[in-house]
Amino acid sequence: MKLSISIMSNLRLGICLLILSFGFLPKQSFAGLKWIDVGINGLTCSLCTRSVDRSISRLEFVDSITMSLENTEGRIYVKDVAAIDLKRITKAITDAGFSTRFVRLQFDFKDIPIDKGGFFAFKGQRYQWLQYKSNPPPNGISLTLINEGFLPKKESSQWKKKLGITFNHSILYLIHEM
C-alpha cells in the first residue's frame, strides 16, 4: 500500500512539474518573426551572460531569451506586439557593457509580402532584403542585419562597399549568408 501511495505521489508531482514547465517555455513565434539571434562580444562568464539577459529581458517586446556562454550568443523570442525596435536590443547589449557581433532574424514570410526589390514592412519597421531573388523558403530563412550598430562598424562598411549601397537610416538592410 505504501509503495502505491509513493508511486501515485511521484506521478502527481511529475504531472504538476510537466504542466508548470509549459508555462515557462518560450513561445516559439507568431507569424513573421520566429526569433532573433544576437552575437555578443566580451561574454566571458555566467555573470556576463546574466547581465545581458537582464538588460534585454527588460524590453517590453521581449518574451524570453536563452543565452549561450559557449557560443557568446543569445536567442531572443519576441511577443506579438505592434512594434519591435531592434535598435533597442543592441542598445541593451551596449548598456550591459558589451558589443554586438551580429543580429540575425529568423523570418517566416508566409504572411509578409515582399516586393521585387526585396522591400517589406514588419512590426513598424521597413526592411530591404538585399540580393533578393524570389520566393523565400517555406520553412523560414535567417537574414543578417548589416546596418551600422548591428555589425561591427568595419564589417558594416565592407558590406556597404561590396553591395555598392548607401544606407537610408529609415530602412534596415538584410542579407542571406549561406
Give per-residue pLDDT as tens, 23-70: 444 444 456 899 999 999 999 999 999 999 999 999 999 999 999 999
User: Grid coordinates in use for 17?
Assistant: 512539474
Domain with 120 in it? 26-175
Mean pLDDT of the chain: 85
Which residues are registered as beta bridge partners of 155? none
H or E element at residue 147: none
Per the CB < 8 A criterion, the answer to whether 64 and 29 are in contact is no
Residue type, 126: R
Confidence of residue 73 (pLDDT cuts 50, 70, 90): very high
- Of the ranges 1-10, 56-65, 122-131, 153-162, which one carries the lowest mean pLDDT score? 1-10
Per the CB < 8 A criterion, the answer to whether 58 and 1 are in contact is no
Rg for the chain (alpha carbons), in Å?
20
How many domains, the chain?
A: 1
Q: Is residue 100 part of a domain?
A: yes
Q: Is residue 102 part of a domain?
A: yes
Per the CB < 8 A criterion, the answer to whether 96 and 51 are in contact is yes
More confident residue, 69 or 137: 69
Q: Is residue 3 part of a domain?
A: no
Predicted local distance difference test score (pLDDT) of residue 66? 96
Confidence of residue 6 (pLDDT cuts 50, 70, 90): low
Q: What is the CATH number of the domain that holds 37?
A: 3.30.70.100
Residue type, 150: F
Predicted local distance difference test score (pLDDT) of residue 17? 38
Q: Is residue 4 part of a domain?
A: no
pLDDT greater than 70 at residue 167 = yes
CA distance 174 to 132: 9
pLDDT greater than 90 at residue 7 = no
